[in-house]
Amino acid sequence: MVGNHTLPELNYAYDALEPFIDEQTMRLHHSKHHMGYVNGLNNAEKALAAARESGDFGKIRDLERLAAFHGSGHFNHCLFWQNMTPADNYKDPSGDLLAQIKKDFGSLDNLKAQFGAASKAVEGSGWGILAWQPGGEQLVTLAAENHQKQTQFTAIPVLALDVWEHAYYLKYQNNRGQYVDQWWNVVNWENVAENFGRATQYKFELR
């Protein structure tokens, strides 16, 4: 049903990621910023539905832009929340995911270095993303601007890091690099492995 997206509940309390991500940031980020993207996506979908019904596509460019921006913002945040866990629950990646990381990056430390550098280098607001690219059957890092720019189509995100200022400014001020470095302490690699397992089931043949 169009225009019916809702804000997902978190699997942990707002203060559960302390001291790496503070409670106030989590509360505002989830209940205010993410909620804004949910509302924006619902409004864009309803406007597109009205345009289809009336046959008036005079504003289609703006509506598609809004749907892409708010839709990517909503879905990126859903992944971001799931990708994190309290530091006491942290476990390093293992199994098939770790094997693929070593194949594509050489080591977990190399992945962290490349992903971290890409995330810190995002121009303005955006995301660091680790994605499965079925076309090349490999994991790739992406530095997405805003929510939807600088992406690879067909790539399936499995890990996302929000580097918009609202994700870290209350605690880290303008030190995005420190935020990125500390974030690794709360990455939920078990969730990433689940995402990776599902992503690798999709087959895309380049012809």
The CATH number that applies at residue 75 is: 1.10.287.990
Confidence of residue 18 (pLDDT cuts 50, 70, 90): very high
- Average pLDDT, stretch 168-191? 98
Q: Which domain holds residue 110?
A: 88-201
| Dist CA 16 CA 103 (whole Å) | 33
- pLDDT exceeds cutoff 60 at 32: yes
What per-residue confidence (pLDDT) applies to 57? 87
| Angle of CA points 63, 41, 74, to nearest 5° | 130
| Dist CA 20 CA 27 (whole Å) | 14
**Out of 26-30, 70-74, 183-187, which region has the weakest mean confidence (pLDDT)?**
70-74
Judgement on whether residues 79 and 99 belong to the same structural domain of the protein: no
Judgement on whether residues 77 and 112 belong to the same structural domain of the protein: no
Judgement on whether residues 126 and 183 belong to the same structural domain of the protein: yes
**Would you say 127 and 157 are in contact if contact means Cβ atoms under 8 Å apart?**
no
Q: Could you give the number of structural domains in the chain?
A: 2
Question: Is residue 206 a part of any domain in this protein?
Answer: no
Judgement on whether residues 51 and 104 belong to the same structural domain of the protein: no
pLDDT in tens, 43-77: 999 999 999 889 888 889 999 999 999 999 999 99
The CATH number that applies at residue 101 is: 3.55.40.20
User: Which among 127, 129, 120, 126 has a CA at the least distance from the CA of 174?
Assistant: 120
Question: Is residue 15 a part of any domain in this protein?
Answer: no
End-to-end distance of the chain based on CA atoms, in angstroms?
35
Confidence of residue 21 (pLDDT cuts 50, 70, 90): very high
- pLDDT exceeds cutoff 80 at 204: no
Judgement on whether residues 74 and 94 belong to the same structural domain of the protein: no
What per-residue confidence (pLDDT) applies to 148? 53
Judgement on whether residues 94 and 195 belong to the same structural domain of the protein: yes
Q: What is the pTM of this model?
A: 0.93
- Average pLDDT, stretch 169-187? 98
**Out of 104-108, 137-141, 144-148, 176-180, which region has the weakest mean confidence (pLDDT)?**
144-148
| Dist CA 58 CA 61 (whole Å) | 8
Judgement on whether residues 148 and 69 belong to the same structural domain of the protein: no
- Average pLDDT, stretch 14-43? 98
Question: Is residue 17 a part of any domain in this protein?
Answer: no
Judgement on whether residues 105 and 187 belong to the same structural domain of the protein: yes
109 marked ligand binding residue: no
Q: Three-class SS of residue 127? A: strand
Question: Is residue 5 a part of any domain in this protein?
Answer: no
34 marked ligand binding residue: no
Judgement on whether residues 109 and 177 belong to the same structural domain of the protein: yes
33 marked ligand binding residue: no
Judgement on whether residues 74 and 173 belong to the same structural domain of the protein: no
Query: Which residue in the block uniquely carries the two structure tokens 């879905």?
Result: 75
Judgement on whether residues 58 and 71 belong to the same structural domain of the protein: yes
Burial 28-49 (b: 16+ CB within 10 A, else e): ebbeebbeebbebbbebbebbe
Judgement on whether residues 120 and 167 belong to the same structural domain of the protein: yes
70 marked ligand binding residue: no
